Amino acid sequence: MGFEPERYGEWLSGKAPFLSMRVNELTVIDLLETDRSGENVDHISFCITGSLEDLATEDVEIVREFESVYGAMGWGPALYIRDPDGNVIELKQYLDT
């Protein structure tokens, strides 16, 4: 498909928990090896410019939160929430962009 591996050396050495494939400058696909659970997608990610703290005060289920996690455009904070259909949504910020 022509995708380029992202952080391949870190993944091989065990420093990165999964392998990422670069689709374009704004998009990566993360490949995780897990037991089959019936779910086809771990989460869907959206880059936001608003406040994660404001979202955390809303009536949404927070699945997990990271001060800094790697994404398509580098490192930054992320909030993972569950949508009404039960899907996990990552709301990601890039503070240096």
Q: What is the pLDDT along the chain (97 residues), one digit of tens a residue?
A: 678 898 899 999 999 988 888 888 888 888 887 777 776 777 888 888 877 777 766 778 889 999 998 888 889 999 999 888 888 889 999 887 5
Q: Which tokens go with 43? A: 């989460």
Q: Is 11 exposed, middle or buried (0-12, 13-18, 19+ CB in 10 A)?
A: middle
According to CATH, where is 3.10.180.10 located in the chain? 42-97
Q: Pick from 47, 44, 57: which is nearest to 89 by CA?
A: 44
Cα angle 66, 26, 82 (rounded to 5 degrees) comes to 40
Superfamily of the domain at 42-97 = 2,3-Dihydroxybiphenyl 1,2-Dioxygenase, domain 1 (3.10.180.10)
* Residue 34 to residue 19: CA distance in whole angstroms: 13
